[in-house]
Amino acid sequence: MPFLVSAVRDSLSAFLIPSRMALQFAVKTLLSAGLALWCAMRFGLEQPQWALMTAFIVAQPLAGMVVQKGLARLLGTLVGTVMAVVFMGLFAQAPWLFLLVMALWLGLCTAASTLLRSAWAYSFVLAGYTVAIICLPIVGKPLLVFDEAVARCTEICLGILCSMAISAVLWPQRVEHQLVQQARAAWLGGCQAAAAALQGREAGRQGLLETLGRIVAVDAQREHAWFEGSRGRQRARALRALSRELLGLLRLARGVARQWQQLDVRDAGELAPYLDQVQAQLTAADPAQLEALRDHLRAQADGGELSSARHYCLARLSLLVRQLLRAQQAQAAVEAGQAPVDAPPALSWHRDIQTAAVYGMRSCLTLLALSAFWLATGWPAASGALLLGAVVCSLFASRENADLIGMSFLRGIFYALPVAFLVGQILLPQLSSFAMLCLAMGVPLFFGLLGMSRPALAGTATSFSMHFIVLCAPSNAMVYDVAFFLNEALAMLIGVGCAVLALRLIVLRNPLWHGRRLLKATLDDLARLCSRALSGAENWFGGRMADRLLQLARYYPQLPESGRSRWDDGVDSLDLGDELLHLRACLAAAGNAADKAEQRFLATVSEQLRQGPALQRAQALNAPAQALTQALREQPPAIELRLAEAALLQLTHSWRQWCERQGEPDGIA
């Protein structure tokens, strides 16, 4: 009950006590929508409501977001327009075949938007349902397809241009400014996670997840800043470098923690002051002190009669301090808006073709079910149900919580129906000017925009606004027909209800299956890491592992006790990849002194990783590792070669532990 009261209070506050940013967002969007509607009616376009709706659809609080979403929508609309003309020209004489091809196209676009995993995925969404928008109203009149395509494309482009113009002129809020704050939060979180990792594997796990989440989230905003001029592009490139340095910082901190476990009690006690100094610097991060500490640790690692374990640990600590300096410089570059010359590629992400196929299939099946209903009943308004089903499936079928989003979308329709009837069927027939039209429709839409500014209410508020516009259908020659209104309302409920039912029934309910898919993809990436160029490897592997670990953490509570070793497998994979990257970086810094032995070792590692961890393969890396170690010891002494030896030991140790765990009752070999 307290939770319900709190939710109601928060919802009411969004409308009664809106924030300044929410008010600015609502006013900007209303002005851009009003401008788009006026231009569409002034130019005599057939359905001005599409220009009005487009202004609402691309509405975003930040300028770069509006530009990118507008461009993505424009690209998707153009592709969808071309495909609509092609489909109608080829299959107009066979309705079943036409609807089947349209359903397959929608499923293909949904699957592609799932695989892309970036802001440009919206282009595939638009390419999918634009075919339905253009073709369904004229399915019996194929000769009108070109005119309809030009009209829809013109109206949508008009809405996009008006939104871009108003967003750039009125209260412009730039993504790049928000990026600086998010990057600093990611930097501070990375330092805290590295400090926690030095205290032990379990202590740093939660911090690792939080930091990976921040890095992934700020990287997702990076694309929007690209459209905000030279400074935005510079910050976007600098952010790629910051992601690389933070991932490297976490990798080295976890490597030091693993190396620390190899120390005996005496060595650990003598090296504890150095560890405390590094942990203190992870909090303070003073550049002058960091350089002095790095030089001191390097000198301690090079001099004196120390055990191998102590040599390795001190050398890794010096690398960690050096990496902290690099991360600090990358953060300063983001704040200054100056991209480094060696900016790496962007973070990569996990792609799962099977999951994308399931999401595409539920879009396709939904459209086929509604198509069968339309052809069987012959109900003219059923084309509206088909259209809305296509829109909902395109927008939400690739989301993991698609059914919940679909329900909020359905709830928005129920809110829109009485308001649209009052405005569209009672008030608008009494009004006769554009100003009064804007006033009558603007008041409900203003409150809808206030709801869209709150993430918890955005789905319902967006649905309310869109369907309110569709039901009122402003144009130069408006027709007021209660029967038509009721038919449209019923078609909306049927179309969205069918889509929500499909999103509810066709889901991936088995987290164990999902975990197996993630592990298989991780092993494949680890094997590829043995031969992939080091340039950009940090962001490639780190981004994919961040994505997978976040997914494993989300599914972890749903797993049975016997299946929770999936999380441990993910962490072991990350450890193994970290040591592999560290080994290759050390060998590259040493000039590939033992090139042939390195190639043989990496080939063996790649082969074993593709087979996966198993108890009988626990010792498979020992012989090639010993051969590589011997080859390294034959070279002139160098700190990079010592670090490579330490990485070899940790790599074989991590592999052996992972394989031996597969023999435990909860193992998953």
The average pLDDT across 77-103 equals 87
Which of residues 664 and 462 earns the better pLDDT score? 462
Cα distances (Å, whole numbers) of residue 122 to 73, 107, 445: 7, 14, 24
Q: Report the pLDDT value the prediction gives residue 563, as an integer from 0 to 100.
A: 52
* pLDDT tens digits along 39-67: 999 888 888 888 888 888 877 766 566 67
Dihedral angle computed from the Cα positions of residues 53, 58, 61 and 66, in that order, rounded to the nearest 10 degrees: -140
Residue 38: per-residue pLDDT: 92
What pLDDT sits at residue 61?
65
Alpha carbon distance 98, 104 (integer Å)? 10
Cβ atoms of 30 and 442 within 8 Å: the answer is yes
Q: Which of 183, 184, 212, 226 is nearest to 62 (CA)?
A: 226
* CA–CA distance, 93 with 133 (Å, rounded to integer): 19
Using the predicted structure, report yes or no on whether residue 3 has a pLDDT greater than 50: no
Contact, 467 vs 36, CB < 8 A?
no
Average pLDDT over residues 653-663: 81
Q: Which residue has the higher pLDDT, 3 or 288?
A: 288
Using alpha carbons, list the distances in angstroms from residue 376 to 95, 367, 484, 627: 12, 14, 21, 73
**Closest residue by Cα to residue 110 from 352, 348, 390:** 390
Task: Mention every residue, 6+ apart, whose C-beta is less than 8 A from residue 358.
Answer: 506, 508
- Residue 531's pLDDT is 85
Give 561's DSSP letter.
Answer: G
pLDDT of residue 214: 82
- pLDDT more than 90, % of the chain: 6
| Burial (CB count within 10 angstroms: exposed 0-12, middle 13-18, buried 19+), residue 509 | exposed
CB 290, CB 198: distance < 8 Å: no
Read off the pLDDT of each residue in 92-96 and give the average, rounded to a whole number.
Answer: 82
Q: How many CA atoms lie within 13 A of 328 on its CB side?
A: 18
Give pLDDT, residue 584. 86
Residue-level pLDDT at 409: 83
**What pLDDT does 669 receive?**
37
Give residue 328's pLDDT.
87
- If one counts every other C-beta atom within 10 angstroms of the C-beta of residue 69, the result is 23
Exposure string over 137-164, b if 16+ CB within 10 A, otherwise e: bbbeebeebeebbebbbbbbbbbbbbbb
Contact (CB, 8 A) for 449 and 30: yes
What is the mean predicted confidence (pLDDT) over 465-485? 86
Q: What is the pLDDT of residue 560?
A: 54
Under the banding of pLDDT at 50, 70 and 90, the label for residue 668 is: very low
Q: Where is average pLDDT lowest: 149-163, 217-231, 445-459, 474-488?
A: 217-231
pLDDT (tens digit per residue) in 372-388: 888 888 787 777 788 88
The predicted structure's pLDDT at residue 628: 84
- What does pLDDT average to over the chain? 81
Q: What is the mean pLDDT of residues 327-348?
A: 83
- Give pLDDT tens digits for 400-441: 677 778 888 888 899 999 999 999 889 988 888 888 988 999
CA angle 69, 70, 73 (to 5 degrees): 85
Angle at CA of residue 237, ends 232 and 243, nearest 5°: 120
Is the pLDDT reported for residue 557 higher than 70? no
According to the model, what pLDDT value does residue 511 have? Answer: 65
- Greater pLDDT, 544 or 638: 544
Of 92-96, 169-173, 228-232, the range with the highest mean pLDDT is 92-96
Residue 37 has pLDDT above 60, yes or no: yes
pLDDT at 597: 79
pLDDT of residue 420: 92
pLDDT attached to residue 398:
67
User: The whole model's pTM is what?
Assistant: 0.81
Helix 565-589 crosses helix 537-555 at what angle (to 10 degrees)?
170
pLDDT at residue 666, as a whole number:
43
Residue 306 binned pLDDT confidence (cut-offs 50, 70, 90): low
Q: Which is higher by pLDDT, 208 or 99?
A: 99
pLDDT of 65 reads 66
Judge whether residue 203 has pLDDT over 60. Answer: no
Q: What would the two tokens of residue 482 be?
A: 């209660």
How many C-beta neighbours within 10 Å does residue 526 have? 22
Structure tokens at 652: 């074989």
Q: What is the pLDDT of residue 8?
A: 62
pLDDT of res. 416: 92
Backbone φ, ψ for residue 251 (5° rounding): -60, -45
